[in-house]
Amino acid sequence: MSETIPSLFMRIINREIPAEILYEDELCIVINDIAPQAPVHMLVIPKQEIARLVDAAHSDQSILGHLLLVAGEVARQFGVDDAFRLVLNNGADAGQTVFHLHLHILAGVKGSKEFSEANIGSW
C-alpha cells in the first residue's frame, strides 16, 4: 500500500500550512500567490484534488464552472473586475509547479503589453 503525500494546496486547505484565505466556500478557497507575477495575483483552488485539467472527469464539470464563477466574484470583491487575466497551467512544461489544479487571477497591470492577447506567447 502506497501513501500519497498531500499537495501543498491540500495542506493549506486542511490548515496544516498557514495562508491568508481571501475567500472560502464549500468547494474552493482563494489565496494570494506567494510569488506574485502581477500586483494582484490570487489563486482559486478547489478543495477537491484534481492534479491537472486533463485529469478532470465529466463529473467535475460543476466544480470547474464554480471556479470560474468564484474567480469573477473575487475579482469584483478586490476591485479588479474591469481587467484581469485567468491562467490555468496544465503540466510541468506549461509551467505547472503544484499538481493540484488551480486558477491564477492576475491583475493590476494597467496599459501593459504583457496583458494583450497579442502577447499571450509564441511557441
Catalytic residues: 102
Do the beta carbons of residue 96 and residue 9 sit within 8 Å?
Answer: no
DSSP-assigned letters across all residues of the chain: --PPPPPHHHHHHTTSS---EEEE-SSEEEEE-SS-SSSEEEEEEESS--SSGGG--GGGHHHHHHHHHHHHHHHHHTT-TTSEEEE---SGGGT--SSS--EEEEE--TT-GGGSGGGS---
Residue 97 is placed in which grid cell?
509547479
